[in-house]
């Protein structure tokens, strides 16, 4: 047990270190996040003002919190995933991963969590700071939303990983998963509440979004952190995240095992 | 003259034709690509529609007028993406050594880069823009006249030129930003997002960035103000609606400068 914790701890640290070497990439990500943030803020603030200062539970302050938390979380949850696993399945390098004495899904998850957590330093926190300093954000004044929010952000990141992993593992059957990845990027971003917060959706679309795991990736952590969800509702949302995470990790695992039986790699 | 031009273009025609054949030969994959692209367009339109589901007037515009803006800008972006979109994947070409191969051939570097790929799937996305434009023309309070038609055509062509210039610009800058490609996403994809918004809602700094430096406001919003006869927001004069060609010229000058600067900087990846 202790050995396992140490192994995964080292994988998390290695993911963190690996990501920390791409400084220019991190800065570039920040520039993109902040630019999109200002555009999102402009149109969404205009929408709040056009409806008399209150729009589906948002005023300008809480809309600002939504905009800048969502921009800050983009690097962390990384909806677009990394293409590494899909590439390794396509090229057959995945066979090397299967030969290692650690669980594939666990190892990739650990490195993902490490790498993503690093992005908070150069991308996440500065994005939020830009928002807080330029337009101001309405944030809760008690400790609980932040503590539960951190848990929720970590869960959201893990759910994002679990989904992307499951998509990539389909490569055992499809070989080329790029079309599927594009489809995933579009649908996940939309239903995660990336460009428009979900409470603004018409009822039928709102229900459709919550039938998918994507709100758990981004909208839930934002709602918990910003105090849109409090008390029992916040705890309930976090439990929903846990359930999605467990379910999708399990699907990914079953697909991996089935794929392993099908995998054929040439050469030695 | 025509014969000489034909001989000059023949290699590009051959290359592009082979790319088109290649994409169509994997039918299932191509169909999925088309479907995904169509969905990209639909989701982008939905994001605009959802806002208007909540409020009737946003940035001085109703949904039919913003559909005109979205249609013009998104169609132009999709076409530019079809022809030039792969240019902003330049770091991949540098890493793989493809770019060094281009240097060995007797054709201009940029022309080869442009001809190296063509993403037919973007046509599907064009359909969404065209549908939005069609809806806007019927539903919005359009002041029809020959001048209106001329304005729409000129704007669409200029819009294609503006977005193509952004892709070239991104390619040029990526000679410097090998790992920082995301920085150019800020004005390429940020530009697309900005172009579909009513620019009246932008704060001053954004008006400078997307109304002047990367002039995407000219690809849809400013001309549509003339089509539906609404006042231009400060600091844009009324005639700015007709100035899309000027914006396109500026964008191309900027793009060519970036590209030349990048090419001068490039020293080869070795190997």
Q: How confident is the model at residue A267 (pLDDT cuts 50, 70, 90)?
A: low
How close, in Å, is residue B137 to chain A by CA atoms? 23
Q: What is the DSSP string of A22-84?
A: -HHHHHHHHHHHHHHHHHHHHHHHHHHHHTTT-BTTB-HHHHHHHHHHHHHHHHHH-TT--SH
For residues B9 and B58, give the distance between their C-alpha atoms in angstroms, rounded to a whole number: 47
Query: Which positions in chain A touch B120 (Cβ < 8 Å)?
Result: none
> What is the CB neighbour count within 10 angstroms for residue B179?
16
Residue in A42, A180, A187 closest to B203 by CB: A42
pLDDT of B197 reads 94
Residue A191 and residue A214 in contact, taking contact as beta carbons nearer than 8 Å: yes
Tell me the whole-structure pTM to 2 decimals: 0.90
Is 90 exceeded by the pLDDT of residue A69?
Answer: yes
Query: Which positions in chain A touch B202 (Cβ < 8 Å)?
Result: 39, 42
In this complex, how many residue pairs, one in chain A and one in chain B, have their CB atoms less than 8 Å apart?
111
Q: How confident is the model at residue A171 (pLDDT cuts 50, 70, 90)?
A: confident
pLDDT of A47 reads 96
Residue in A34, A36, A43 closest to B201 by CB: A43
Interface subset of A 23-52, CB within 8 angstroms of B: 24-25, 27-29, 31-32, 34-36, 38-39, 42-47, 50-51
pLDDT of A81 reads 67
**Contact with chain B for residue A150, Cβ under 8 A:** no
Query: Which positions in chain A touch B39 (Cβ < 8 Å)?
Result: 183, 186-187
pLDDT of A97 reads 85
Going by C-alpha positions, the residue among B75, B237, B64, B236 that lies closest to residue B153 is B75
Going by C-alpha positions, the residue among B60, B165, B156 that lies closest to residue B110 is B165
pLDDT of B134 reads 96
Is 90 exceeded by the pLDDT of residue A94?
Answer: no
Is 80 exceeded by the pLDDT of residue A76?
Answer: yes
Q: How confident is the model at residue A263 (pLDDT cuts 50, 70, 90)?
A: confident
pLDDT tens for chain B, residues 1 to 271? 566 777 777 877 887 787 777 777 777 777 878 888 899 899 999 999 999 999 999 999 999 999 999 999 999 999 999 888 888 778 878 877 788 888 888 888 888 888 777 777 788 889 999 999 999 999 998 989 999 999 999 999 999 999 999 999 999 988 888 777 788 888 999 999 999 999 999 999 999 999 999 999 999 999 999 999 999 998 899 999 999 999 999 999 999 999 999 888 887 755 4
Is 80 exceeded by the pLDDT of residue A188?
Answer: yes
Is the peptide bond prior to A39 cis by the omega test (within 30 degrees of 0)?
A: no
pLDDT of B221 reads 96
* Helix, coil or strand: residue A214: helix
Query: Which positions in chain B touch A190 (Cβ < 8 Å)?
Result: 43, 46-47
pLDDT of B75 reads 95
Tell if the CB–CB gap between B181 and A24 is shorter than 8 Å.
Answer: no
pLDDT of B2 reads 61
Is 70 exceeded by the pLDDT of residue A145?
Answer: yes
How close, in Å, is residue A129 to chain B by CA atoms? 18
Q: What is the DSSP string of B130-191?
A: HHHHHHHHHHS----SHHHHHHHHHHHHHHHHHHHHHHHHHHHHTTT-TT-THHHHHHHHHH
Tell if the CB–CB gap between A55 and B181 is shorter than 8 Å.
Answer: no
Tell if the CB–CB gap between A28 and B179 is shorter than 8 Å.
Answer: yes
Q: How confident is the model at residue A266 (pLDDT cuts 50, 70, 90)?
A: low
For residues B88 and B86, give the distance between their C-alpha atoms in angstroms, rounded to a whole number: 5
Q: State the ipTM, two decimals.
A: 0.89
pLDDT of B158 reads 97
For residues B193 and B74, give the distance between their C-alpha atoms in angstroms, rounded to a whole number: 9
Tell if the CB–CB gap between A39 and B177 is shorter than 8 Å.
Answer: no
Query: Which positions in chain A touch B50 (Cβ < 8 Å)?
Result: 196, 200-202, 205
**Contact with chain B for residue A235, Cβ under 8 A:** no
pLDDT of B18 reads 79
pLDDT of B105 reads 83
Going by C-alpha positions, the residue among B161, B216, B220 that lies closest to residue B188 is B216
**Contact with chain B for residue A170, Cβ under 8 A:** no
């Amino acid at each position: 047990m202790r050995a396992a914790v140490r192994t995964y701890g080292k994988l998390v640290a290695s993911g963190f270190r690996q990501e920390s070497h791409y400084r220019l990439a991190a800065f570039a990500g920040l520039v993109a996040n902040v630019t999109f943030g200002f555009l999102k803020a402009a149109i969404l603030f205009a929408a709040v003002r056009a409806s008399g200062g209150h729009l589906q539970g948002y005023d300008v302050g809480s809309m600002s919190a939504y905009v800048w938390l969502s921009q800050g979380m983009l690097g962390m949850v990384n909806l677009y995933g990394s293409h590494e696993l899909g590439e390794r399945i396509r090229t057959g390098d995945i066979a090397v991963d299967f030969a290692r004495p650690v669980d594939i899904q666990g190892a990739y998850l650990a490195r993902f969590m490490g790498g993503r957590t690093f992005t908070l330093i150069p991308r996440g926190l500065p994005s939020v700071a830009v928002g807080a300093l330029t337009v101001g954000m309405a944030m809760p004044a008690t400790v609980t939303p932040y503590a539960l929010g951190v848990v929720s952000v970590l869960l959201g990141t893990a759910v994002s990983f679990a989904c992307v992993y499951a998509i990539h593992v389909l490569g055992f059957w499809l070989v080329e998963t790029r079309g599927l990845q594009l489809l995933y990027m579009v649908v996940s971003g939309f239903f995660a509440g990336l460009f428009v917060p979900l409470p603004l959706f018409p009822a039928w679309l709102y229900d459709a979004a919550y039938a998918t795991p994507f709100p758990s990736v981004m909208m839930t952590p934002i709602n918990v952190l910003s105090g849109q969800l409090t008390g029992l509702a916040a705890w309930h949302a976090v439990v929903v995240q846990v359930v999605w995470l467990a379910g999708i990790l399990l699907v990914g695992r079953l697909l991996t095992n089935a794929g392993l039986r099908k995998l054929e790699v040439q050469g030695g | 003259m025509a014969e000489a031009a034909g001989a000059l273009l023949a290699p590009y025609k051959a290359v592009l034709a082979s790319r088109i054949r290649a994409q169509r030969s994997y039918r299932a994959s191509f169909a999925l690509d088309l479907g995904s692209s169509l969905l990209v367009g639909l989701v982008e339109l939905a994001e605009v529609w959802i806002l208007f589901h909540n409020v009737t007037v946003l940035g001085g515009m109703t949904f039919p007028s913003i559909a005109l803006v979205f249609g013009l800008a998104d169609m132009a972006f999709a076409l530019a993406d079809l022809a030039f979109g792969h240019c902003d994947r330049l770091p991949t070409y540098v890493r793989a050594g493809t770019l060094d191969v281009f240097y060995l051939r007797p054709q201009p570097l940029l022309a080869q880069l442009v001809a190296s790929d063509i993403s037919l799937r973007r046509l599907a996305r064009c359909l969404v823009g065209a549908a939005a434009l069609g809806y806007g023309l019927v539903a919005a309070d359009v002041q029809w006249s020959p001048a209106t038609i001329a304005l729409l055509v000129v704007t669409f062509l200029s819009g294609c030129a503006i977005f193509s210039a952004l892709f070239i610009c991104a390619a040029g800058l990526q000679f410097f930003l090998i790992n920082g490609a995301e920085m150019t996403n800020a004005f390429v994809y940020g530009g697309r997002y900005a172009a579909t918004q009513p620019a009246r809602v932008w704060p001053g700094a954004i008006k400078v960035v997307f109304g002047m430096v990367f002039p995407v406001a000219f690809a849809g919003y400013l001309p549509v103000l003339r089509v539906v006869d609404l006042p231009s927001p400060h600091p844009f004069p009324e005639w700015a609606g007709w100035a899309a060609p000027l914006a396109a010229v500026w964008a191309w000058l900027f793009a060519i400068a970036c590209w030349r600067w990048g090419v001068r900087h490039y020293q080869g990846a070795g190997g």
